Amino acid sequence: MPVTAPDEPYYCSQQINIPPNLPDILKQFTKAAIRTQPKDVLAWSAAYFRAMAKGETPPVKQRLEMPVATQKTDSGLTPGLLKVLNKQLGPKKVITLSVIEEKWTDLALPKEQFDDLVRIGSFGGDTEWNKFFALAASHLGENITDAMKTVCEILTADPEGGPARIPFPLFKDLYQYLAQIDGEISQAHINEVFSYLQYYVNKQDGYVQPRNFLSSECPKLGGGM
């Protein structure tokens, strides 16, 4: 029979108070960890409980994510992780770059990738989240069309697997921004894309969806023939 050391306090079951909601908290935490599959479990766990304590959105994926064929192998970022960041930061519209970096680090995403986005977008101080978000989306695919498809799929209010509609003004703002970053897409071509899509937007209550700009009849978002 084990003997308790003289200087070691002894507790009986009546003295140990387990909060009644602790089992549910741990259950939800475990489910969140399984869905998110964090690279650094300890750092992610700290970020998770810190967010919960502050009443903020924790860094949790909605479901387990499998790699997609269009994802760059050296990315680190995934559509699921970008969706987590947007859920945390999107409602704030404009946010300091240091807060974006904090949430980025919480997900153990590569620092060099964050630095690249900051450099390319010339971000600093107060940052428009949607622009940082759109630029990050462009790192998930091969071209601007892939980027805008990802933008629609994450920003839409439609259920997953639905048409992924977003308001046309939002689409125009983010496409225009990415086209300017690209530097090789003329304003005339951008206007041609907008003009083509307007026909569908008028029939879709002011919304645009990926199938509209993925159509072979739509001018290519990346320019060219």
| Per-residue confidence in pLDDT tens, the chain, 225 aa | 555 555 666 666 666 777 788 888 888 889 888 888 888 889 889 989 998 898 888 888 877 776 554 444 445 899 999 999 999 999 988 999 999 999 999 998 999 999 999 999 999 999 999 999 999 999 999 999 999 999 999 999 999 889 999 999 999 999 999 999 999 999 999 999 999 999 999 999 999 999 999 999 999 999 765
Give the integer Cα–Cα distance in Å for 159 and 38: 25
Give the integer Cα–Cα distance in Å for 95 and 133: 12
Element (H, E) at 94: strand 94-96
Number of H-type helices and E-type strands within the chain: 10, 4
CA distances from residue 132 to 18, 65, 105, 106, 187 in whole angstroms, order as listed: 43, 22, 15, 17, 21
Tokens of 92: 């704030």
Matching residue, tokens 């992924």: 164
CA distances from residue 75 to 19, 40, 144 in whole angstroms, order as listed: 41, 17, 16
Whether the full predicted model's pTM is greater than 0.85, yes or no, is no
Percentages helix, strand, coil for the chain (3-state, rounded to 5) are 55, 5, 40
